[in-house]
């Protein structure tokens, strides 16, 4: 903020523009009460708020709240630049956090630019922009339920009926050559993973 003190009996009050607040950061946190990343399957963009602007009377702007994204323990975070992926973090313990995008610093008001030579600065500084990143989550998946049985008894069929998984189904032995994973979402909104 660029502002000057104005009071009845203070003709030369001087600059009193306050600083702007810090922008919010995006923080990813590992929690135990989630087992899948299904909550982020349709999330394309997450944005934190800007910090408030500084005000007159040397009032600083409020810092914005951070945005916290809860992911299951075992989530690996990568930054994506075109075809290139860069490893950022492996959240392997409960409560572990990683700042994916840091909020920008707030700008300085004209009260910060006062010197012995310049006693009435008419300049203020803009805040810095926050980080923008394209990221992807990968889950080192441990299944909650495992389907085990003799060949051709319907394990893959059950998996295809209760989840969106599309395993190869055939009337011959050893149709399933590698494990298939399906995410089942219940009516209450909970989800769990089944391995065939």
**157 sits in which H/E element:** helix 155-162
pLDDT in tens, 59-102: 888 889 999 999 988 889 999 988 898 999 998 889 899 999 99
Whether the model pTM is above 0.85: no
CA–CA distance from 172 to each of 83, 99, 155, 166, 168 (Å)?
A: 39, 49, 13, 17, 11
- For residue 15, list its beta bridge partners: 4
Q: Which of 123, 75, 119, 77 is nearest to 100 (CA)?
A: 77
The b-or-e profile of 117-134 (16+ CB within 10 A means b, else e) is eeeebeebbebeebeeee
Above pLDDT 90, what percent of the chain? Answer: 20
Closest CA to 108 of 22, 4, 6: 22
Contact 78, 135 (CB under 8 A): yes
Angle at 78 between CA 75 and CA 83, to 5 degrees: 140
* Least confidently predicted of 6-15, 34-43, 45-54: 6-15
**pLDDT tens readout for residues 105-116:** 988 888 888 888
DSSP 17-84: PPPPPPPP-EEEEEESS---SGGGSS-----PPPPPPPBTTTBPPPPPPPEEEEEETTEEEEEEETTE
């Amino acid at each position: 903020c660029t502002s000057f003190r104005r009071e009845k009996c203070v003709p030369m009050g001087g600059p009193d523009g306050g600083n702007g607040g810090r922008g919010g950061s995006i923080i990813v946190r590992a929690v135990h009460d989630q087992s899948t990343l299904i909550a982020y399957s349709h999330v394309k963009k997450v944005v934190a708020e800007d910090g408030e602007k500084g005000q007159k009377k040397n009032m600083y702007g409020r810092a914005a709240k951070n945005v916290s994204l809860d992911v299951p323990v075992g989530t690996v975070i990568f930054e994506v630049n075109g075809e290139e992926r860069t490893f950022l973090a492996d959240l392997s313990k409960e409560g572990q956090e990683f700042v994916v995008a840091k909020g920008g610093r707030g700008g300085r008001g004209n009260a910060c630019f006062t010197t012995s030579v310049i006693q009435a600065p008419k300049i203020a500084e803009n805040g810095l922009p926050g980080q923008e990143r394209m990221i992807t989550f990968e889950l080192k998946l441990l299944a909650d339920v495992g389907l085990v049985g003799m060949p051709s008894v319907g394990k893959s069929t059950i998996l295809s009926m209760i989840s969106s998984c599309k395993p190869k189904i055939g009337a011959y032995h050893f149709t399933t050559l590698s494990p298939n994973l399906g995410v089942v979402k219940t009516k209450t909104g909970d989800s769990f993973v089944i391995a065939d």
